[in-house]
Amino acid sequence: MLSENDLLQQFMQQDIPLIGRKAVEHIRTSDPMRRVGGDTHNVVTHFASLKMACVIQAESHKGKLPWLYPPAVARHNR
């Protein structure tokens, strides 16, 4: 996740208006809108992110787990 200074630089470089900046800041500080709960057709995955100090959850019909792992971790787990 970008630091506050890095995020501010991105906002300025891309000329993001104040309303857009507030929306991004709200998303960054909010909990997810719903729990991941896969049904009979979805695959639920959990990825412990040390960098973000949380567990990232995802669900997908085809599975997103390979996209959650950084390349170095994916290579190590093969």
pLDDT in tens, the chain (78 residues): 788 899 999 999 999 999 999 999 998 888 777 777 766 777 777 778 787 788 877 777 665 556 656 665 544 444
**Same structural domain for residues 47 and 26?**
no
**Same structural domain for residues 26 and 3?**
yes
**Same structural domain for residues 23 and 39?**
no
Between CA 49 and CA 54 the distance in angstroms is: 6
**Same structural domain for residues 59 and 72?**
yes
pLDDT at residue 65 in the model:
58
**Same structural domain for residues 22 and 50?**
no
Between CA 74 and CA 55 the distance in angstroms is: 17
**Same structural domain for residues 47 and 68?**
yes
Would the pTM count as exceeding 0.75?
Answer: no
pLDDT at residue 20 in the model:
94
Q: Which domain holds residue 25?
A: 1-30
Domain count, the chain: 2
